[in-house]
Amino acid sequence: MAYIEPAPIKDRENPFESMMSRFDIAAQKLGLDQETYEVLKSPTKQVIVSLPITMDDGSKRVFEGYRVIHSNTLGPSKGGVRFAPDVHLDEVKALAAWMTWKCAVVDIPYGGAKGGIKCKPWTMSTGELERLTRAYTVSMYEIFGPDTDIPAPDMGTGPREMAWLMDEYSKANGKTVSAVVTGKPLVLGGSLGRVEATGRGVMVSALVAMEKLKINPAHATCAVQGFGNVGSNAASLLEERGVKVVAISDHTGAYYDAKGIDIRSAIAYKESNNNTLEGFTGGEIINNADLLELDIDLLVPAAKEDVITLANADNIKAKLIVEGANGPMGAKADPVIFEKGITVVPDILANAGGVTVSYFEWVQNRLGYKWTRERVNRRSDRIMKEAFERVYKVAQKYDVSLRIAAYMVAISKVADTYKLRGGY
Ligand code: GLU
């Protein structure tokens, strides 16, 4: 997994406030009424649990787990579960809200949620992680459900954790409930194409944006920060389309080669090297901060929140930023980047390919039928392109950034639905 140190605390923004400041601009542009504004900004439910786990040495440790449901206006809430040491309530709240906007931007019938457990998964054994995931599932039994709240992988989790979650939930139900979680292993009802889906959506968004900016992918250079599921798949799919990926990175550092990194060999290296790029010789070593400031066409931050902040925004030289991670740019950096004329395809659009294929997985589970990879890719590519065009049109019409336009598309969809459904 790609755990990259976040920016120093002094440069970091509270992620929920960062989300809200964009929300406020978009709501104002839309002329959203005060009552709907209050409803949309308030998370529906916030749950914090303590999970006492027996460690391999026999000792007990208590972990803190979270699940925030931001909205279920458009349908059951959807969003991943993150295992990371810096998980905290405001982060989970922001991530849950981003899921609401993300699902609305790509027009899939889900609300938004997010979960997390404060832990260092790379220091834990498989058994410890399994007990932790199962304990979390039991404690969230009343929340999770195929018609209520559907978790998925996020940073520090993957198909293995989703299998445990599905199994534990199913045991409590007395029957297999595949549709309670997405991102499962294929044999347990996972979807073809789900693993690559977020990276693929990043690639599709990048290509559509390059077309608008008249950048020829065959002559474009790119740097990808983060080499986990999103970064490595985005890098490899961009490379396949002719983009020269000159730098990649993970928590061990960044690797640069002006002639282009061989992404396939980087992935093979990582897989044979305990999932890290440490010791990779396919590029000169630079640091993660320098990677962001390279003179390139396309920058894909695909690691963490808040890596582009007021402290480094002015040094960014890329023409196009496609946000693979959730919240990689703090709100205070937005105007600096906008003034510099850098186009940003925002997270809630750029990385929506993952939840889109999660939706396909859930649909397949409920149908009891499997789609081909070709069908999954074709439909998710189409959804990503249509969402991009919707956002692009609003950006042009209101003369705002793609980020604000994406929030406007999302907020108006949720607001209209809320008004139709009505409240108390
Ligand atoms: N964790 C992913 C995201 O942030 C996927 C969520 C999902 O598939 O539900 O978009």
Task: Give the whole-angstrom CA distance, residue 42 versus residue 47.
Answer: 14
Probe target for ligand 1 pocket from 154, 348, 362, with the most ligand atoms within 8 Å of CB: 154
Probe target for ligand 1 pocket from 355, 356, 359, 360, with the most ligand atoms within 8 Å of CB: 355
Is 216 part of a structural domain of the chain? yes
Task: Give the whole-angstrom CA distance, residue 393 versus residue 391.
Answer: 5
181, 202: one domain: no
- Of 159, 188, 217, which residue sits at a domain end? 188
Is 29 part of a structural domain of the chain? no
Give the distance (Å) from ligand 1 centre to CA of residue 80: 5
Is 391 part of a structural domain of the chain? no
Task: Please indicate whether residue 351, judged by its CB atom, sits closer than 6 Å to ligand 1.
Answer: yes
Q: Residue 394's Cα: distance from chain center in Å?
A: 23
Question: CB atoms < 10 A from the CB of 297, how many?
Answer: 22
pLDDT digits (tens, 9 = 90+) for 85-127: 999 999 999 999 999 999 999 999 999 999 999 999 999 999 9
255, 203: one domain: yes
- Give me the domain span that covers residue 309: 197-350
- Residue 12 is predicted with a pLDDT of 63
pLDDT digits (tens, 9 = 90+) for 135-156: 999 999 999 999 999 999 999 9
User: Which ligand 1 atom is the nearest neighbour of the CA of 352?
Assistant: 10
270, 127: one domain: no
User: Which ligand 1 atom is the nearest neighbour of the CA of 153?
Assistant: 1
Give the distance (Å) from ligand 1 centre to CA of residue 354: 6
- Residue 239 is predicted with a pLDDT of 98
102 counts as catalytic = no
- Residue 2 is predicted with a pLDDT of 40
The CATH number for 295's domain is 3.40.50.720
Collect the ranges in the chain with pLDDT lower than 70: 1-12
- Residue 423 is predicted with a pLDDT of 79
The CATH number for 101's domain is 3.40.50.10860
Task: Give the whole-angstrom CA distance, residue 57 versus residue 59.
Answer: 6
183, 254: one domain: no
- Of 350, 383, 405, which residue sits at a domain end? 350
- Among 114, 184, 270, 304, the active-site one is 114
Question: CB atoms < 10 A from the CB of 287, how many?
Answer: 10
Task: Please indicate whether residue 78, judged by its CB atom, sits closer than 6 Å to ligand 1.
Answer: yes
- Residue 11 is predicted with a pLDDT of 60
177, 315: one domain: no
Is 406 part of a structural domain of the chain? no
